[in-house]
Structure 1
Amino acid sequence: MIINNKRNLFKFVALSAVLAVTSCNNADFFNEYRSLPNGWEKSEPVVFSFESLDTVAKRNAYINVRTTSEYPYSNLYVIIKTTPPEGDAIVDTLQYQMANADGSMLGSGFTDVKEHRLIWREKTSFKKQGVYKVEIQHAIRKVNEVKGDAVLNGITDIGLQLQ
């Protein structure tokens, strides 16, 4: 009888902990990935489209990048072009640190594949209802070279996450 009550108590505590943790997480409004099996070609931006009906809610926006040990740089430069349903496109040029000074990759993961969750915008809102288009293009180039890398190797997936 005592063992059975202890098991029930354990189940109750475990279930309560799971519910407490999951209820505090931010819900994703949008979360998609694009696979890049042959590397990230500079001439082909990664494109996402989503519909926003809420013009008031504040959302955090992330660019999610999966890299392998073949990624040759310690940083990542991206150009993000956001086209609202009506009006002019907004262009952001951003730099993210991808590796430590010793060359070890930042991000999460236990294998040579690392997940990088890169903040793009904090507490942003989409002021017009309709379909938004987001294009992400890499802007990596070698030092003292004007022309960028045609193909950026070591990146397997690019994602857009809005919470």
Structure 2
Amino acid sequence: MLKKVSLVLVLIVGLESCNTNLVFSEFKSMKDAKWDMSESVHFEFSGLDSIAVHNMFINVRNDNTFPFSNLFLITELEYPDGNTIKDTLEYRMAEPTGEWLGKGLGSIKENKLWFQEKIVFPDSGVYKVSVAHAMRRNGEVGGINILEGITDLGLEIEKSTQ
């Protein structure tokens, strides 16, 4: 009886956590929670509804070895026709008190960060997204070659509800 009740609870929680608007989700792991500045993380997707409006998110998982309270990313969205949108984005990763933002138990926190809002994918074919970090120490020109503390990077695309 206890097993049946537990199973029902797990199914209910699982169903409630499903996002029916999610159309793409993929994560890439960073080896030893280290991200080399020269290595972009790449995602590819196709076959999305060409009329629907979508929202895109970059998901970042970090651990306690991440030494900063913010994160700078250089993103590139390439359309099937070759047109490209490139942007530099800054995200806050921690409160001024040092408390990590994001969700998660233990030392890993996941942040769901806005990337593109209300975007339409009108062309058929493969869309490509690349993400690189652009972290630098204050007062230094050169970037940080190896960024520690980022364990995974993901891309999510959802149909917009508005």
TM-score by length of 2: 0.84
- Matched ranges for 1:18-29 at <5 A: 18=12, 22=16, 25-29=19-23
Alignment partner of 1:76 out of 29, 54, 71: 71
Q: Which moved more, 1:39-48 or 1:122-131?
A: 122-131
Q: Which residue in 1 is equivalent to 2:96? A: 101
Q: Which residue in 1 is equivalent to 2:29? A: 35
- Matched ranges for 1:122-133 at <5 A: 122-133=117-128
CA distance in 1, matches of 2:16, 2:48: 25
Q: Alpha-carbon deviation of 1:119?
A: 1.0
Q: Which residue in 1 is equivalent to 2:53? A: 58
TM-score by length of 1: 0.84
Q: Alpha-carbon deviation of 1:87?
A: 3.1
* Preserved CA contact (<8 Å) 2:23 2:48: no
CA distance in 2, matches of 1:59, 1:22: 21
* Preserved CA contact (<8 Å) 1:45 1:137: yes
**1:78 match: secondary structure:** strand
Unpaired segments ≥5 residues, structure 2: none
- Matched ranges for 1:145-156 at <5 A: 145-156=140-151
Alpha-carbon RMSD:
2.2
**1:47 match: secondary structure:** strand
Q: How many residues align?
A: 150
CA distance in 2, matches of 1:36, 1:53: 27
Deviating beyond 2 angstroms after TM superposition, the runs of 4 or more aligned structure 1 residues are 21-27
Are the structure 2 counterparts of residues 55 and 95 from structure 1 closer, same or farther at C-alpha, using a change threshold of 3 Å?
same
Structure ID, larger Rg: 1
- Matched ranges for 1:1-12 at <5 A: none
Q: Alpha-carbon deviation of 1:53?
A: 4.3
